[in-house]
Structure 1
């Protein structure tokens, strides 16, 4: 059954008015940006983990270290990978607003409930702030992307970059809010355990604000998400069950992935008839597994570095406010990079753009361990460049999934693509258990993360 919002939208925004259609599409893009703005709290984990880890360790809730705390963000990635496929099914059954609302509700609830679970156990905070918020993000992540690209089918890379750019912008805003609330006097972490280079906060005034911070963030997220959900709708006349569509899109964009288009001669331009791949058909292609393995390898490095950049910075920079600025401006790189790399992918090819992303990310992670020699400026620049580099994956991959396998089953297909995130948690725990990552030795861990990437 077609989405009810299709009929409502057709009546309100007739397709015979191009200008009106563009304005309505722009509102959908803005709504997607607002929703992804809240999902950007994923990238505030690096800023929050010193507060969370210090709170649990000093108050005797758990003896968790910074390295082990990466399990939380890995659990979030796992939840996202598990739920994104289901979010696609929800959208096809109930429409984009309902699917997005369910995801946003679970996401904000997971963050808010952490007010209680941070005093329970590390496992409890892992489930709520990690897995539960990840499930919500998974339900709601792909739907705004799909809606936006349906309104602007010839600008998939740019539009996806704008929407997911909200994730980077969210970290810019919420990093500052977190630090301004939890540590307004810019106190430095003073507690250092024997045999570790890591430093922890032990000031009571700082630690007392950590649980309340979760409630504040959850409320802010919910307010922005409600506005974004209201804006979510499909273009006039859109149906989920059409088998084929014609699009003016160059077959060159599929370079290095898979050839699925048939070119038709239409005067001076090429019109491609794009077959829509059902999930079962997509899973039979080599292209899917190439993209899946690429995401798996890059996610492992992203999860580790985005979680521990601040903990590493604290070993030689004793200025919490400066580190919050590092996180904020790095999130600008995260947001701008998604738009920039999406544009580059549109102008060149997915293969060229993604290869550049992976190469630059490996180089900057590998050389991060030398930033203490350059002090604050070098650390600021390197973290910014790391976020600018890896951000490209999250605009290039959604657009390439739509190009390679069509837009009709996009939310389900992209959800299956992101099932690679599930492996991230398993890999993180296994590496910790085998001693690949160990507490108090962050420089060695960054080098290993670059090598594994």
Structure 2
């Protein structure tokens, strides 16, 4: 969780966006806008190839050294941003609580913004300067602090990662063997068995009622309609996630003229993101992926569609409530999708299946960046948010019908 906390920079991008845009307008291109910089977030949140590499490294050199290498690259890259911006160039330990564990681990990632966002704002804008009429900062004393902020964050993250890596390790071999044995005899739902037989899946069973989960081939997973449904669901949800996490502050600045307050919103939204990840995981364990994700998608669509009404009210307090509620839906996506991958494709294939599912975030990042750069300035925030709300609605439809797919019975 401590490692994930240090990796949670992506959820502070919305807080950083006005500073970065203002700095680059000052130093590089006066015509640059917020939509142009959403590409940065797209690469932060939507570059999933490292997940597949990480799964390979974990098997090759172990979890601790694999995490150490990733942490070094992450923190080193963050420190180098000091120069580049100026130059302008779980389931192994608790196998029967997969949803809860997914929530706990990803909660660390989501909680990073709780402390990071206030640190960013206090360091860059200690005098609480406001943006100009165009929505950008022009105070040179503020803008000169932007590059130095990356060095500060690199130091903080590097320190956290050093101590967290000490506690990274694999469970004892005897515990793994016991977990595998228990997992093989755990799934005895007759509905699942009947569905598997009807699909002519590779099912092995004994004279007892115990159902042994089949080991699916990688090609079978990738070619299944279940994988497609979950992949598209993650892609659509991540478009929604990147939009709200990237533009919450830029949009808030159109009617709230208090930089400290907007940073506070991000900090508390991180708390709700954290708590919701744990809660959604526990709910999925108790009920199902299908029910949990359906609820999250419904609320996500409604909240996005009604953001314009919040602006019309002119109430900072209501905006605070809305953003915190929306970040609860953010937590749902990244807690429930790994849960679904584990349930539908099995623990043996989890690293591969979830790594491939993460490609959806890459596609979402490209879509979101293109839409933000070329459409946002033309159609404005209100219409843009309306379109984005429909991504959650489409995810809701996919989630409702996922149970009819090849491996989808395991998601209900």
Q: Which of 330, 342, 362 does residue 390 from structure 1 map onto?
A: 330
Alignment of 1:41-440 (within 5 A): 41-61=9-29, 63-79=31-47, 81-121=48-88, 124=89, 148-190=90-132, 192-193=133-134, 199-237=135-173, 245-247=181-183, 249-250=186-187, 272-372=211-311, 373-432=313-372, 435-438=374-377
Give SS of 1:392's match: helix
Inter-CA distance 40–348: structure 2 relative to 1 (3 Å threshold): same
User: How many Å separate the matches in 1 of 2:207 and 2:116?
Assistant: 51
Query: Cα distance, 1:228 vs. partner?
Result: 2.0
Q: 2: distance between equivalents of 1:376 and 1:432?
A: 24
* Cα distance between partner residues in 2 of 1:83 and 1:62: 34
Query: Where in structure 2 are there 5+ consecutive unaligned residues?
Result: 393-412
In 2: Cα distance, 1:105 partner to 1:278 partner: 34
Shift in alpha-carbon separation, 1:430–1:186, aligned structure 2, 3 A? closer
- For residues 120 and 241 of structure 1, the distance between their equivalents in structure 2, rounded to whole angstroms, comes to 53
CA distance in 2, matches of 1:357, 1:374: 26
Which stretch shows the higher mean deviation, 69-78 or 44-53?
A: 69-78
Report how far residue 72 of structure 1 moved: 0.9
Q: Give the TM-score taking structure 1 as reference length.
A: 0.79
Work out whether residues 44 and 171 of structure 1, in 8 Å CA contact, stay in contact via their aligned partners in 2. yes
Relative distance call for 1:151 and 1:40 in structure 2 (3 A) is same
Give the drift of 1:64. Answer: 2.1
Given that 2:280 and 2:335 are in contact with CA atoms closer than 8 Å, whether structure 1 keeps it comes out as yes
Alpha-carbon deviation of 1:349?
0.6
Distance between the aligned counterparts of 1:440 and 1:314, measured in 2? 18
- TM superposition shift of 1:263: 7.0
- The worse-fitting range, judged by mean Cα deviation, of 401-410 and 293-302 is 401-410
In structure 1, distance between residues paired with 2:190 and 2:261: 41
**Any conservation in 1 of the 2:38–2:372 contact (CA below 8 Å)?**
no
C-alpha distance in structure 2 between counterparts of 1:83 and 1:423, whole Å:
15
More relative contact order, 1 or 2 (CA 8 Å, 6+ apart): 2
SS of residue matched to 1:288: helix
CA distance in 1, matches of 2:258, 2:210: 57
Q: Closer, same or farther in 2 for the Cα pair 1:287/1:215, shift >3 Å?
A: same
Give, in angstroms, the shift of residue 52 of structure 1. Answer: 0.6
What displacement does 1:357 show?
0.9
Per the TM alignment, residue 424 of structure 1 is displaced from its structure 2 partner at its CA by 1.9
Using structure 2 for the length normalisation, give the TM-score: 0.86
DSSP 3-state at the match of 2:172: coil
Going from structure 1 to structure 2, the CA distance change for 1:119 and 1:253 (only over 3 Å counts) comes to farther
Quick check: 1:442 aligned with 2:381?
A: yes
Residues 3-59 of structure 1 show CA distances to partners (whole Å, capped at 9, x for unaligned) of xxxxxxxxxxxxxxxxxxxxxxxxxxxxxx011101211100000111111111122
- The size of the alignment, in residue pairs, is 383
Query: CA 1:71–1:252 in 2, change beyond 3 Å: closer, same or farther?
Result: farther
Alignment deviations for residues 140-166 of structure 1 (CA, whole Å, 9 cap, x no partner): xxxxxxxx2111111111111111111
Work out whether residues 189 and 200 of structure 1, in 8 Å CA contact, stay in contact via their aligned partners in 2.
yes
